[in-house]
Amino acid sequence: MIPDVASQLPALSFETAAPPPARTAPAWLAARYWALHDVWVLTRRTLARVITTPEQLVNVTVQPLILVLLFSYVFDGAIRLPDGGNYREYLIAGIFAVNMGGTAQGTAIGLAVDLSTGLIDRFRSLPMSRATVLIGRTLADLSLTLVAGLVTAMAGLAGARRSLARTGRPRTGAAVRLFRRVGRNMHRDPGPRRRGRPGGRADGHPAAVTDVERFHLGQPDDSVAA
């Protein structure tokens, strides 16, 4: 009744058991070599996960793009600098910072998961250098941050070229128009033509305050209908 699985298994052969590490190098050098080796193995581990689950790349590709679009087109009219400078000049640097924060958060969450699933225990019970668990993970996440930075920079450059080519109203694709509409519902942007000098509206209320109130009250939006 009990399936005799073990007897059908091929014998365990140990021809490939660990060879002793070469003892020719001095001990401190060997220790450093192995520490670097372990970091490299663990960095590859985190990157290999991206291959089996490419969804992880959403964080570093789609998300920065969305942030750039969102803050340059949708929220554009709502945010004014106190000294009248161009808000877009600060935009890309800000999104870089958000990306960095996001990846650091990813690193922390990833480590917490490794801790709770016992993977860290497994690493710590291996004859490897213990600090490399942290370093490997950080390096891999850093390389993902680079991807995010690259995407952000490209989006920023593309946007800048377009604003240079047509000073005035940016050419907006369907997606951007959608964003604009959503954005107008949210903060009642007075519209692209009046961008740059938004102020109080006809009813005399300061725009920002009323916008927030209207949004929360969910009142119908007449500016879209207009």
Q: By the criterion CB under 8 A, which residues form the site for another protein?
A: 2-7, 9-10, 12-14, 16-19, 21, 34, 37-38, 41-42, 44-45, 48-49, 52-53, 117-119, 121-128
> If 0-12 CB within 10 Å is exposed, 13-18 middle and 19+ buried, where does residue 2 land?
exposed
Task: Identify the DSSP state of 18.
Answer: P
Minimal distance, residue 2 CB to another protein, in Å? 5
Could you tell me the smallest distance in angstroms from the CB atom of residue 9 to another protein?
6
Q: How far is the CB of 66 from another protein (least distance, A)?
A: 24
Is-contact 201 190, C-beta < 8 A?
yes
Round the CA-based radius of gyration of the chain to a whole number and report it: 27
CA distances from 142 to 33, 109, 206 (A): 22, 15, 43
Query: Residue 59: which of 19, 5, 98 has the closest Cα?
Result: 98
CB of 191 to another protein, least distance (A): 47
* 187 touches 214 (CB < 8 A): no
Residue with Cβ nearer another protein (127 or 204): 127
Phi, psi of 124 (to 5 degrees): -75, -15
- Give the shortest CB-133-to-another protein separation in angstroms: 10
Report the distance separating Cα 193 and Cα 195, nearest Å. 6
Rounded Cα gap, residues 139 and 136, in angstroms: 5
CB of 124 to another protein, least distance (A): 6
> Closest CB to another protein among 16 and 24?
16
4 token code pair: 């005799």
Question: Nearer Cβ to another protein, position 98 or 128?
Answer: 128
The residue (of 18 and 164) whose beta carbon lies closer to another protein is 18
Nearer to another protein, 128 or 176 (CB): 128
Give the nearer residue to another protein in terms of CB position, either 48 or 224. Answer: 48
